[in-house]
Structure 1
Amino acid sequence: MPPDIVAARRKLVAEEGRGIFMPTPPPTAFGIPKGHSLTDWVRRRITPHAASTYESRLKLEPPLGNGRPRTYVVCTNPLHPPTAGAREWVAKQDGWAWQELATGHDAMILAPTEVALLLSAVG
């Protein structure tokens, strides 16, 4: 994650999250357009994110994918800035399929049919 985003999130955790959680961002942070019919539904269900998950290293063994086919799904409209590092990393890896959905980061809210079809296709 870019250093400026890390610093901003740490500041939010310290100032608004009692040092333990990331306060909930507005639905627009996940690509849900302002005024979308599901904005209020998402706002009522969104929960704080534990800050420790940003600070603790995750070690995966066996290698990522455990020998299974791997597909990265990027939601392109709009792109989610905090996932830029993941997109860049996957693009440099061998053995990854790349799929795009022209929707926001919360694709399962904004385009559930398209998500289901894509997941069914990648098996």
Structure 2
Amino acid sequence: MNWHMIVEYLRREAEMATYLLVHGAWHGGWCWVRVSKLLRDAGHDVYTPTLTGLGDRAHLATPETDLECHINDLLGVIEMEELRDLVVCGHSYGGQVITPVLDRQIDKFCAAIWLDAFVPQDGHSLMDGWPPERAQHIREQVATTGDGWKVDPMPPDYFGVMDPDDADWVTRRCVPQPIRTFSQPVYLTGAWQSVPRKMYLLAEHHPNSSFDRFATQLSHEPDWDVRTISSGHDAMIDAPDLLAELLLEFG
């Protein structure tokens, strides 16, 4: 290897980003397959872990699977893969997971994106932010058809997945979510807010009062970049090109 080849190699290494893409409720790492291919084709490293009890790890679900378990999933990936300078993207429920991970390992991250996602408050659970009638409906479903701990998946059209083939794909792969991942409060020191770059990405074709509220509130914060993406809630499925472009730009 001559000097010019070494310089070119080092240049490419310097330009390469490492993405950690975190799925939302009922989904798994599988949902990022289109976006991860685009990012890897552009020369970047991509990790798409599946949280315990979901996706290909559905067999590990128990009544005790909670938010802290999912936080530890990501902390374990970061530790075992020795990751640093990470660009993390949390989708939907994934925002509830990446925020405490950032809070505990802020030195590992250079940028964070909340994709149509929850941005938790210290001491609050995800369910605390739901309208009371929705929380009650979920509790009733869990009690009657979820063995007291499993939340049934939402249908694909709820996620904005309208293509019939994609809808079938999502239906086949989504699995019940342990309710303690929704009901366990998260505790934050505030360190997560010091990540150098923060983006909130709102899906235009998925009206949701919670996500609209987050986007509106954060748009007034000078250190946040708030944008929209022309997609349904599952942007990684119905608009992978647009999402990959935004991730590449922000990363």
SS class of match (2:191): coil
Q: Point out where structure 2 has 5 or more consecutive residues left out of the alignment.
A: 1-129
SS class of match (1:71): strand
Residue-by-residue CA offset, 1:74-109 (whole Å, 9 max, x unaligned): 111132455445445534544211111111110000
- Asked if the contact 1:80/1:105 (under 8 Å) is kept, the reply is no
Task: State whether structure 2 residue 133 is matched by structure 1 residue 4.
Answer: yes
Aligned equivalent of 2:229, options 85, 101, 106: 101
- Give me the whole-angstrom Cα distance separating, in 2, the residues matched to 1:5 and 1:88: 22
- Give me the whole-angstrom Cα distance separating, in 2, the residues matched to 1:85 and 1:19: 31
- Give me the whole-angstrom Cα distance separating, in 1, the residues matched to 2:233 and 2:152: 18
Task: State whether structure 2 residue 207 is matched by structure 1 residue 112.
Answer: no
Residue 172 of structure 2 is matched in structure 1 by: 44
Provide the aligned C-alpha RMSD in A: 2.0
- Give me the whole-angstrom Cα distance separating, in 1, the residues matched to 2:177 and 2:170: 15
Shift of 1:110: 0.4
Q: What TM-score do you get using the length of structure 1 for normalisation? A: 0.84
Percent sequence identity over aligned pairs: 27
SS class of match (2:228): strand
- The runs of 4+ residues in structure 1 deviating greater than 6 Å are none
Task: Figure out how many residues of one structure are paired with residues of the other and give that number.
Answer: 122
Q: Which has the larger radius of gyration?
A: 2
Q: What TM-score do you get using the length of structure 2 for normalisation? A: 0.44
CA 1:6 to 1:90, structure 2 compared with 1: closer, same or farther past 3 Å? farther
Deviates more, 1:16-25 or 1:59-68: 59-68
**Structure with the higher fraction of residues in helix conformation:** 2
CA 1:55 to 1:11, structure 2 compared with 1: closer, same or farther past 3 Å? same
- Give me the whole-angstrom Cα distance separating, in 1, the residues matched to 2:236 and 2:194: 25
Aligned equivalent of 1:70, options 168, 176, 198: 198
CA 1:90 to 1:10, structure 2 compared with 1: closer, same or farther past 3 Å? farther
Shift of 1:22: 0.7
- Give me the whole-angstrom Cα distance separating, in 2, the residues matched to 1:98 and 1:39: 28
Aligned equivalent of 1:15, options 137, 144, 153: 144
Q: Point out where structure 1 has 5 or more consecutive residues left out of the alignment.
A: none
Aligned equivalent of 2:155, options 12, 26, 37: 26
